[in-house]
A and B are shown apart, each in its own frame.
Chain A
Amino acid sequence: MATIVGAITTSHVPAIGGAIARNLRDDPYWKPLFDGFPPLHRWLAKVRPDVAVIFYNDHGLNFFLDKMPTFAVGAAPQYCNADEGWGIPTLPAVPGDQRLSWHLIERLVGEDFDITSCQEMLIDHACTIPLALLWPGSGGWPVRLVPICINTVQHPLPSAARCFKLGQAVGRAIAAYEEDMRVVVLGTGGLSHQLDGQRAGFINKSFDLEFMEKLPTDPEWATRFSVRELVELAGTQGIELLMWLAARGALSGEVVTTHSNYHIPISNTAAGLMLMESRIA
């Protein structure tokens, strides 16, 4: 049987890709971000996941406005990264797990989620930066990937409640998978930031900290807000916290935070990091 070893949620700021490429981990600006990751490296070495199911949002690499799925599930043999137009280095392709992808697709549609399946899917920095942070310099990825993309480009976006339920359905689907494998669930993006408009530079530390505090034990707290309210509280791109809610949704039972980090600013963003694990009673 497949088991979920835990959920990791992290920011995916593009500039991190440049900092990795220029080896700035110990630079005073970057150190508070990178210092959050060694405990996760040790944890990953211990739990050795076979697969990463990643909730992320595409930023105009794979999807354009001609066709904009609300929820898209990758079902590709591998996922290539590509030029996003503003110059961070591209990373090697990540192998997929098509059998698990189709299992998730079947289960999700079976639970009335109207998802889009993708046998070809480019992954952008929202996938590659978290992978590079979690498995640095490994020269070949130690996990297979199942990407699940949630639209945060074009409103209306799916509600926080819906994203949480999607995560719960993914959790049930993984638990029902007959093959023995260990799965880590990732949710990337956020926390509070806004790139556009006169409100650019908006950051809300107190909201972020409350969100992180509630996420393991009371995730439904955040699902009470509308998307508009979350944009007001976290910024137009802070809405990426929907990925964190989906990842949290995949965990069942009593959930605890076993590692976290939070730092302002990385680029224009409040950078957050959490590892959550289920304690089976």
Chain B
Amino acid sequence: MPDDLRRAIPGTTLFDGAQAMKGYALNKMCYSFNSAANRAEFKRDEDSYCARYGLNAEQREAVRRRNVLDLIAAGGNVYYLAKLAGIFGLDVQDLGAQQTGTTKDAFKARLEAAGR
């Protein structure tokens, strides 16, 4: 690998070729949520929608649990996952709070503190 991408950054999964292969079906489903009709279809019948995109068991379970860290571990890319999160009315601060195991208010306070 030309860069030093393989050296881990704590709490960070770089979306590389391995993740892109692993998460292809999940990310393809999330990409489809650019369309309002597809979002409605997912809400109407989540099981069928996930099956149509061929999600594996790990991906299906992560979607069922609305768990961002599990979705990332299953190959999800945050830009596509954000479209899935939008269906559930979650913004990036909800996602941040969930991933860091804190409340949204505490997460926002942490962001504010970074400016001081």
Q: Which of A126-184 contact B (CB under 8 A)?
A: 153-156, 159
Enumerate chain B residues within 8 angstroms of A15, measured Cβ to Cβ: 91
Residues of B within 8 A of A201 (CB): 96, 100, 107, 110-111, 114
Nearest CB of chain B from residue A230's CB, rounded to whole Å: 10
**Contacting pair A197 B82 (CB below 8 A):** no
Instruction: Count how many pairs of residues, one from A and one from B, have CB atoms less than 8 Å apart in the complex.
Output: 143
| Tally of contact residues, B, Cβ under 8 A | 53
Shortest B59–chain A CB gap in Å is 15
**Chain B residues, CB < 8 A from A82:** 34
Is B40 engaged at the interface, CB distance under 8 Å to the other chain?
no
Count chain A CB atoms within 10 A of each CB in B2, B3, B20, B27 and give the residue with the most: B3
B115–A265 contact, CB under 8 A? yes
B112: shortest Cβ distance to chain A, in Å?
A: 6
Chain A CB within 10 Å, residue with most, of B3, B7, B14, B85: B14
Q: Give Cα A110–Cα B115 distance, bound, in whole angstroms.
A: 44
Within the complex, the shortest CB–CB distance from B91 to chain A, in Å, comes to 8
Are B5 and A268 closer than 8 Å at their CB atoms?
A: no
| B69 contacts A by Cβ under 8 Å | yes
Asked whether, in the complex, the Cβ of B15 is within 8 Å of the Cβ of A268, the reply is no
Q: List chain A residues, Cβ under 8 A from B82.
A: 59, 85-86, 195
Let me know if A196 and B100 touch, CB within 8 A: no
Residues of chain A within 8 A (CB-CB) of B91 are 15, 86, 267
CB distance from A228 to the nearest CB of B (A): 5
Q: Is A194 on the interface with B (CB-CB < 8 A)?
A: yes
- The residues of B that contact A194 with a CB separation of less than 8 Å are 12
Given A199-B10, A201-B107, A265-B112, A155 and B16 contact (CB-CB distance below 8 Å): yes
From B24, B36, B69, B79, contact of A198 by CB (8 A): B69
- The reply to whether the CB of B60 lies closer than 8 angstroms to some CB of chain A is no
Among B5, B28, B83, contact of A156 (Cβ-Cβ < 8 Å): B5
Contact, CB under 8 Å: A60 / B83? yes
* B103 interface residue (CB < 8 Å to A): no
Q: Does A281 contact B (CB under 8 A)?
A: no
Q: Check B92 against A197 for contact (C-beta < 8 Å).
A: no
Known: A203-B114, A263-B115, A264-B114. A59 touches B79 (CB 8 A): yes
Given the known A-B contacts A82-B34, A83-B35, A197-B13, are A154 and B20 also in contact in the complex, defined by CB atoms under 8 Å?
Answer: yes
For chain B residues 66-116, which have a beta carbon within 8 Å of chain A?
68-69, 72, 77-83, 85-87, 91-93, 95-96, 99-100, 107-108, 110-112, 114-115
Jot down 11 A-B pairs with beta carbons below 8 A, ordered by A.
A66-B28, A83-B34, A83-B35, A154-B16, A155-B3, A156-B3, A199-B9, A200-B11, A201-B110, A268-B96, A270-B114
Instruction: List chain A positions with a Cβ less than 8 A from chain B.
Output: 15, 59-61, 64-66, 82-87, 153-156, 159, 194-201, 203, 205, 226-229, 231-232, 236-237, 263-265, 267-268, 270
